[in-house]
Amino acid sequence: MGIYRKAFGSAGEDEAERVLRRNGYTIVLRNYRCRYGEIDIIAKDRDTIVFVEVKTRGGDSFGTPKCGVDSRKKRHIVHAAQSYLQENGLIDCLVRFDVVSIERIGGAYVCEVVKDAFGEDS
């Protein structure tokens, strides 16, 4: 991944974190990595552990950011989430998978939080 793309993605994650906090989420961890892949943000929304995929785009020429979460990516996120839950003894917790879709238009971010974007059966 190029330096620009990595910085662009990281800036998107920073913005997503700000949006999630404003919406009452508590950030637990960013960039959790395991053999199944990476989860951008792990947060809590009341009693629910939320695994958040952040998709940032500079425009919609490749489709909207949330369209970038395909079935393969969902499977990786679900497996990574299961790994995190097992590592931390959280198997019986309520779990949700959200997507934060971010488009950078000019110098401004347009964000959408898609709650319960997909399930564990993805």
**pLDDT value at residue 26:** 98
Q: What angle do CA 13, 17, 47 make, to 5 degrees?
A: 130
How many other C-beta atoms can be found within 10 angstroms of the C-beta atom of residue 46? 9
**pLDDT value at residue 84:** 98
What is the number of residues in the chain? 122
**pLDDT value at residue 52:** 97
**pLDDT value at residue 25:** 98
CA distances from 76 to 28, 32, 34, 60 (A): 20, 12, 10, 24
Which ranges of the chain have pLDDT less than 70? Answer: 1-9, 59-68, 122
Residues 28-37: contacts with CB within 8 Å, 24+ apart? 32/80, 32/84, 34/80, 34/83, 34/84, 34/87, 35/83, 36/76, 36/79, 36/80, 36/83, 37/76, 37/77, 37/79, 37/80
CATH of the domain spanning 3-118 = 3.40.1350.10
pTM attached to this predicted model: 0.87
Question: Domain locations in the chain?
Answer: 3-118
pLDDT per position as a tens digit, 55-88: 887 755 555 555 668 889 999 999 999 999 999 9
**pLDDT value at residue 59:** 57
**pLDDT value at residue 104:** 78
Token output for 105: 């238009």
Picking from 88, 63, 64, 81, the residue whose alpha carbon sits closest to that of residue 118 is 81
**pLDDT value at residue 110:** 86
